[in-house]
């Protein structure tokens, strides 16, 4: 439970500073969708499994790290994507411990984009974190994957 509280309240404050750049909704959808696609591909390869549905916490607490007011595609990389409240996420975790619930923190500015996926399963137990960083390529007018890294058990061996 402590890790859950850290991921919701403290981690975003440490990771993302406030920027004066405000991306358009279409740019946010594109960046978040790309990060989720990269997460799915890397996590499926790393865990040797395939997700059928991912539940993302759509936090709206009036904080700078809240999930943006965007609608994501229903399916990304053949995986159903559902945006739900934290309360619904806790309820769904109690219904089935095999469900994957993710708090996704993102920061996008004109030169880079950073995302942290805080993954929960097994009855809302923290599983691992996934960090992904992109750097903006001005020539191609797109973000290029710069770094992707899993942190936490079982990857910290």
Instruction: Report if residue 156 sits inside a domain.
Output: no
Q: What is the pLDDT of residue 62?
A: 79
Does residue 81 contact residue 75 with C-beta atoms inside 8 Å?
yes
Q: Which residue range(s) make up the domain with 80?
A: 2-151
pLDDT surpasses 70 at 9:
no
Q: What is the pLDDT of residue 78?
A: 95
Instruction: Report if residue 27 sits inside a domain.
Output: yes
Instruction: Report if residue 157 sits inside a domain.
Output: no
Strand order in the sheet with 101-108: 75-76, 79-84, 53-57, 101-108, 112-121, 125-137, 142-151
Number of structural domains (the chain) is 1
**DSSP state for residue 88 in the 8-state scheme:** H
Instruction: Report if residue 48 sits inside a domain.
Output: yes
pLDDT tens for each residue of 54-100: 999 998 877 777 889 999 999 999 999 999 998 898 898 888 888 89
What is the C-alpha to C-alpha distance for residues 145 and 106, in angstroms, rounded to an integer?
14
- 0.85 exceeded by pTM: no
89 exposure class (CB count in 10 Å sphere: 0-12, 13-18, 19+): buried
Average pLDDT, the chain: 83
Q: What is the pLDDT of residue 156?
A: 55
Query: How would residue 5 be classed by pLDDT, with cut points 50, 70 and 90?
Result: very low
Instruction: Report if residue 59 sits inside a domain.
Output: yes
C-alpha distances (whole Å) from 51 to each of 33, 40, 75, 76, 87 are 16, 8, 11, 11, 22
Q: What is the pLDDT of residue 153?
A: 65
What is the C-alpha to C-alpha distance for residues 109 and 111, in angstroms, rounded to an integer?
6
pLDDT tens for each residue of 93-137: 888 888 899 999 998 988 999 999 999 988 888 988 999 999 988
Tokens of 85: 């409240």
């Amino acid at each position: 439970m402590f890790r859950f509280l850290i991921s919701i309240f403290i981690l975003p404050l440490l990771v993302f500073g406030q920027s004066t750049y405000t991306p358009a909704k279409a740019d946010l959808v594109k960046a978040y969708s790309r990060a989720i696609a990269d997460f799915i591909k890397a996590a499926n390869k790393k865990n040797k499994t395939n997700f059928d549905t991912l539940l993302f916490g759509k936090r709206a607490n009036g904080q700078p790290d809240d999930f943006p007011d965007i609608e994501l595609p229903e399916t990304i990389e053949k995986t159903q994507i559902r945006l739900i409240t934290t309360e619904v996420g806790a309820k769904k975790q109690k219904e089935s411990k095999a469900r994957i619930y993710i708090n996704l923190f993102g920061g996008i500015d004109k030169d880079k984009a950073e995302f942290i996926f805080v993954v929960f399963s097994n009855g809302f137990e923290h599983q691992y974190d996934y960090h992904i960083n992109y750097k903006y390529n001005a020539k191609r007018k797109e973000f290029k994957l710069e770094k992707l890294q899993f942190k936490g058990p079982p990857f910290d061996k």
